[in-house]
Amino acid sequence: MQQTSLIYVFNPQGQVLLCAKKKTNSGFTISLGKWNGAGGKIEWEETLLQSAKRELQEETGIDLPEDSFKHVGINKLYYENKPDRDQEAHVFVIKDYTGDFQETDELLSQWFDVDEIPYDKMWDDDIYRMPRMFDGEYFEYIFHFSEDGKIKSHEQIK
């Protein structure tokens, strides 16, 4: 199972930075156009924090020290007939970020008010875990997805 990082950045106004995939190099086309946090695969010999820091910098231009990242949850994601896509996503939050971000060739990034999150343009699992993240709760889930990216089943562990 692939280890991944997923990072949500909040500004002092309580808005969260979400990113939408504009293109994919991996052929995982069901992720195109969906809003999510920044993140990606943990590379060989990287720690979770090193991966989160690198992915955030690559995808948004935001470069912060590792002690800015707070681990808030784990999502185990299983994809029907695609075990090479299965992942354990470690979710991190950064609070009170006051700097800028940049759009990249891969991602469009935008601030969202937490009461205006575009859940209809996101992964189906976001509606379960994001409200808990907004409330400051730690969470762990297992999600099983169909080939078209819809939830077949889910289980809340914590």
Residue 59 Cα distances to 10, 54, 56, 118, 121, angstroms: 16, 9, 5, 20, 19
Residue type, 41: K
Task: Say how far apart CA 75 and CA 1 lie, in whole Å.
Answer: 12
Q: Which two tokens stand for residue 141?
A: 């889930």
Render pLDDT for 84-94 as a digit per residue (tens, 0 to 9).
889 999 999 99
**pLDDT for 27:** 60
> In the predicted model, what is the mean pLDDT of residues 3-14?
96
pLDDT of 28 > 60? The answer is no
> What is the mean predicted confidence (pLDDT) over 129-153?
93
Query: What is the percent of the chain where pLDDT is above 90?
Result: 77
> Which CATH code fits 2-156?
3.90.79.10
Which is more confident, 104 or 67?
67
User: 109 pLDDT band (50/70/90 cuts)?
Assistant: very high
Query: What mean pLDDT do residues 48-57 have?
Result: 96
Q: What does the alpha-carbon distance between residue 83 and residue 77 come to, in Å, rounded to a whole number?
A: 10
